[in-house]
Structure 1
Amino acid sequence: MAQAKVVKLAHEIDPNLKMGSMMAAVQSYPATCNPQDVLENQNYLHINNDFYFEMVCHGEYPQYMLNWFKEKDINLKITSTDLEILKANPVDYLSFSYYTSSIMGKELAEKGSGNIFFGGKNPYLKASEWDWQIDPIGLRVVMNNLYDRYQKPLMIVENGIGVDEKWDDKNNQLNDEYRIDYLKEHLKNLLLAIEDGVECLGYTTWTAIDLISASTKEMSKRYGLIYVDLDDYGQGTGARKIKESGKWFKTIADSNGENFETKLNLKWYLENRH
């Protein structure tokens, strides 16, 4: 409701404003080709992913969610006016974060998990040291699914990898080739999704500069293109230094994608997408 009212207000202030949202895109695959696992994965995605996009795009509670509320004995106090506001104020584009994927099936669901959001581990994927699986192709899958379903432009507003890093004082650098590889593969799949026919407004990595990780409450899980000399206890000089990934990313931005190693031409797309 809060979001729908903000969208409404923004459009009243200026009808030309385009409003998005912020959601964590969940990508999950069936644990096996057993139809029970396929169904369980579908239910998992309904509750943890699809529901949120449905609400901001269509402004209606899907039946599967109403069934889930009833099963959990959740009684939402929604007025007819609320429903009208939700329905009348959808977002103009979908903006979301994407980091990882998982698997889900009947056995995994029955076992349960303290953090069911992440599901099970995919044996075909590598993982970060925080056990987040790295799945660049999953971004392409997510983008195609969202665009096919909602026909709204997309924007990736968070994408990156957290690593415990230390600045190399001897060579005065932080050679984070793994981050360059991570971003390069995700950008490649973003461009492939565009080639598939997806309309994409933009991409921003998480994140420009090291900061405290919201998921683990620590500075040592570093996502930045720029290193910050502070530890988990706030000790350090606070100095900012550009990592090798930051230098690489700058060449991509400065050339408008022309220097990106892919058969696709990001510069042409950005200049001709309208």
Structure 2
Amino acid sequence: MKKVLLLLICLSLPACVVSVNENTSKVSKSVTTRSGVDDNQGFSAKRLQRIDRKMQEYIDQGKLAGVMTLVSRNNQTVHFSAQGMQDIAAGKPMQRDAIFRIYSMTKPITAVAAMTLWEQGKFHMNDPISLYLPELKNLKVYVSGSDDTMVLEEQKSPIRIIDLFAHTAGFSYGFTGSEVDKLYRASEVMQGKTAPENVLTELAKLPLNHQPGSQWNYGINTDIIGYLVEKISGMKLGEYISQQILQPLNMLDTGFYVPADKVSRFAAVYHNNADGKTVLMEK
């Protein structure tokens, strides 16, 4: 999804890493902090130390800037450590309260939000999505050709909500070289130039990759589920997720934005550029 959900790693994920190819000298000042081990949980303190040693190898080799690992059993933390750097340029070691981008992990959280509405009987999985989002009714389906010779046909069946969950609706992401994906890449929707309230209308101008329910194709289905949540709940997606999921789970550092008073805990993200050098990923 275009909006990025952020996650305090110690609350929800067993491990999160930032991939880099940095010179070892720049990450040699590795700081490790760890919690104590509860021997009653059946773990060997000696063997748990292997985790830190292996993660440090990756840091020393320049494969990672920083890494955090957590092992929990029976609601008890038996291993929790932070190693390497949270921000290389600033010389800031990784901290156990660092906040990370989780990118596509917004998808399962959005799906859970929708499922809470399903539990309440607000919709059925076989309902046509157009029943709630009429902008997505009667979309055309790609058959053959390209540009001016492109052949489209009518839908043989409506897009059901279950098709969005299963990625069988026919939507795409523009990741491949298909003719439909070329249209996706050229669209203002996928370039982030469309106002949120106009996204569905613009999306409806693009053909489906295949007939709904006929095959699997990874696409912007979960984004549409987000609109479904907003339409049924009458709330903004972030507000609904916070109220129904994050607050009950005490995930107080999770959200679509980082508040000003938490920016200092926001971990930098690195990637390899065309020259193979590690640089900050564009925000």
TM over 0.5: no
- Structure with bigger helix share is 1
Higher relative contact order structure (alpha carbons within 8 Å, sequence separation ≥ 6): 2
- Structure with bigger strand share is 2
Normalization by structure 2: what TM-score? 0.26
